[in-house]
Each structure stands twice: as structure tokens, then as C-alpha cells.
Amino acid sequence: MQETPPVLRRNINKVIEISVLIGFMVLIGVLAMQPIHLSQTATKKVSGTLRAGINQHFGEVLKGETAKNARVTTSLTSGINRHFDEVLKEKSKEVIETKKAQVEKLEVEIVTAPEKTIETAEVVKETETKETEEAAEAEEKVEDAEPEMLYKSLDEVKISRDMDLTQTTGLSKEDFRDLLADFKYDYAGFYKQNAGLIWELSQKYQVNEIFLCGVFALESYFGSDDRHVNAHNYGSIMNKYGELVRYASDAEGIEANFKLFANCYLSTKGKYYKGVNIDSIGDTYCPPTPECPSWADKVYCCMQYFLE
């Protein structure tokens, strides 16, 4: 049973007090009207009746108040429950709307993702292509550029009979071209045409370019002898039958001579290595004969023509 509210208790107490007071007043009146010899039994009966009436009244009042409080409590509980239901419905609605918006956003991202991926891939591809082209251009520039070094001037180039043939002249490619451009013994234009190639191969194989020019001058009469021109063999490289080896082009024949001297004559591991000057090569490359008692003398003589 729920506890009776304080207000109700106070009201009930007042009712009881008033009822008791009225009862005693009535009792006094009755006693005054009755004979003094009224028995105590009658007094107790009246008092009992009065008490029963008061208790009945109190019970009815208390029962009514309790029922009223129960209705109020039930109504309050019902209202609170309805409020919670409405709040939960609103929250659920908000959650549903939020989830729906997230799903729609995700669907849009999924639909547009391939397009963005394609665009990104195209941008990456363009960037990579551009970088590749720039790298290729840079590489071409590096290949075309002359080595970063301090080149000598034409006046500083010196040759000697015992010079180290594994050392280049130290000229730049442009200066070497200029040196051969006006060479007075270039009867067939061989040197002018191949000056750039001779300089490049000289740097590649580390063989002195003036030395090779002297060899070509002696062996093919400054690159103009028909047999050597037709065979593209200006250094007189022979096969095992003593015949000129034929090459497909001047470039191939010229490089074959650079390889031969670099690998076989000027390398310490070379088959014919005896040293790095002209004399150490001459006796093996072209043994002395009555017609050519000293190949080294003649090559050196031709070398001097280029620096006159």
C-alpha cells in the first residue's frame, strides 16, 4: 500500500479531533440529561458506537484518498511512458534519417569513384609520361654534352715519340672538329666527315685521337685509298688469309681499329701488349720490311702533320 500524503494525514487528524470533541460534548449533554445513576455499561456502549462511527468514516476517507492517489500515479506513469515513447520515436527517426543520408552519400561515392580513379590514373599517367620525357631529354642532353672537364687549347696539345697513347689530346669535341676541318691532306674528306666520331671513340676507348689519325693516314693514304674506302677499313686490319677485313660502314671500321688497339695492344691484359708508346706497338702491328723498316717512324711523322 502506498504511503498516505502528509496533507491527507493532517486532514484526517483534524477530522478525528473534531469528531472526538463533538463526541465528548454529546456525551456530556447526554449525561446531563440522564440520571446520575446511569451505569458505566451504557457509557461504554455509547463510546463504542461513537468510536465505530469515527473509524468507519476514517476508513472511507482514507480509501477514497488512496484510490485518488492511485489514479494520479497511474496517470502520471502513463504520461511519462507516452513521453518516453515519443522521444524514442523521434530519436529513431533521426537515426534512420542519418543512416539513410550516409548510405546515399556512400552510393554517390561508389558511383563516382571509378570516374575519379580514371581521372587520377590519367593525371598520374600524364605526370609519369612528362617525367619520362623530361628524363629522356635530360639524358639526351647529357649524352650530347661534352664531359665536364678542363679542355686544352690547340696550342697546348703536344705529341712525342714516347707519349702515352692511352691519354687523349684533352681537346674538346668542337676544337677537334675544327682541327680536322681544314686539314690540308684530307684529300677525300674522310677526316672532316668522321672527326666527331673519332673524338667520341677516343673518349670511349681511351686511345689518343691523333695517334689513330696518323695510323689511318699511313695505312690508307689519309683515307683516300680505294681499297680501304671500299672495305671501310682505314687501319689495314687483316684476316688470317692476309686480306683486308670488310666492314659495313666507316663507323664500324673505325671503331674496330679503336677496339683492336685498346684491347690487344694498349691493355696490360692484351694479347700483343708490350707498352703504351708507338714503338711498343709498331713491331707487332706491322713488323719491319724493306719497304717499311719502321712503322712507328712513319706513323709518328703522319701525326705531326695534324698539328702543323
What is the distance between the alpha carbons of residues 11 and 8, in angstroms, rounded to a whole number?
5
Name the band, by pLDDT with cuts 50, 70 and 90, for residue 276: very high
- Nearest to 198, CA basis, from 190, 165, 8: 190
For residue 43, the model assigns a pLDDT of 44
Sign of CA dihedral 12, 14, 20, 25: negative
For position 37, what pLDDT does the model report? 44
Can you state the angle between helices 40-144 and 6-33, rounded to 10 degrees?
180
Query: Can you tell me the mean pLDDT for 160-166?
Result: 95
Write out pLDDT tens, residues 6-36: 656 666 666 677 776 787 676 776 565 654 4
105-148 pLDDT per residue, tens: 666 565 554 554 445 556 555 666 666 677 667 666 545 554 45
d(C-alpha 282, C-alpha 214), whole Å: 13
User: What integer pLDDT is reported at residue 119 of this predicted model?
Assistant: 55
The CA–CA distances, whole Å, from 236 to 38, 232, 247, 256, 304 equal: 176, 10, 12, 11, 21
Q: Determine the average pLDDT of the residues in 142-169.
A: 82
pTM of the model: 0.53
- pLDDT level of residue 103 (50, 70, 90 thresholds): low
| 142 vs 93: which has the higher pLDDT | 93
Length reported for the chain: 308
What pLDDT digit, counting tens, does each position of 194-222 carry? Answer: 999 999 999 999 999 999 999 999 999 99
Question: What's the CATH number of domain 154-305, 1.10.3720.10, 1.10.10.10, 1.10.1040.10, 1.10.530.10?
Answer: 1.10.530.10
| Count of H-run helices and E-run strands, the chain | 9, 0
**What mean pLDDT is reported for the chain?**
77
Per-residue pLDDT, averaged over 82-94, amounts to: 62
pLDDT, mean of residues 62-84: 53
Give me the torsion for CA of 63, 65, 69, 74, rounded to 10°: 50
**pLDDT for 84 beyond 80:** no
- In this structure, of 7-11, 81-85, 286-290, the range with the lowest mean pLDDT score is 81-85
Instruction: Please give the pLDDT value at position 233.
Output: 97
Asked if pLDDT for residue 251 goes beyond 80, the answer is yes
Grid cell, residue 159, equals: 705529341
